[in-house]
Amino acid sequence: LDLSSWGKENSYFEADINNPNGKRRKFQLNLCNPVQNGSCSNNSVACEVNSGDSPTLLSNLMDDTHKRTSEYNELTEVITLTYEDKTSRVVKVDIKCNKSAEHPQISLVSNEGTKYHFQFLTKLACLVPPVQCTAEDQDGDLFRNIHAD
């Protein structure tokens, strides 16, 4: 699954979070691309940008020891992108299907120290189930999963 087209080419996605303590937090992040034309430093995949504060880098795409992994869980139908750098900063993004989301909906699931976990709801993640072809021969035998080579 190619996620590179899901990132914003000259921009970023924004998550605006209201904490239970009333403190508002704002994040800029992108998928597979650095944040462009935002408050993050060059090549940042995510940063926290609260008014009055300097942006806090969450993960840098160009760090020499930076690691990006992706996985798809067929049971939950969740795509997970994880960005990790040498300082143990981790940004995890769970991408889930939401057929009614005209625009991606992003929320912060948890933040423990330098580990950030976001949820990204989008209709782009609504994967089409595989087509199962069946055919019946003249004797009534049923054949499944037929594909041309």
Question: Rg of the Cα trace of the chain?
Answer: 20
pLDDT in tens, 14-30: 888 877 777 788 888 88
Quick check: 115 pLDDT over 80?
A: yes
More confident residue, 50 or 136: 50
The whole-number pLDDT of residue 148 equals 46
Quick check: 149 pLDDT over 50?
A: no
The whole-number pLDDT of residue 146 equals 46
Task: Specify the pTM.
Answer: 0.76
Q: Which of 4-13, 60-69, 95-104 shows the lowest per-residue confidence on average (mean pLDDT)?
A: 60-69
The whole-number pLDDT of residue 147 equals 45
DSSP assignment of 59-118 equals: EETT-TT-EEEEEEETTTTEEEEEEE-TT--EEEEEEEE-TT-SS-EEEEEEEETTEEEE
Report the percentage of the chain scoring pLDDT > 90. Answer: 9
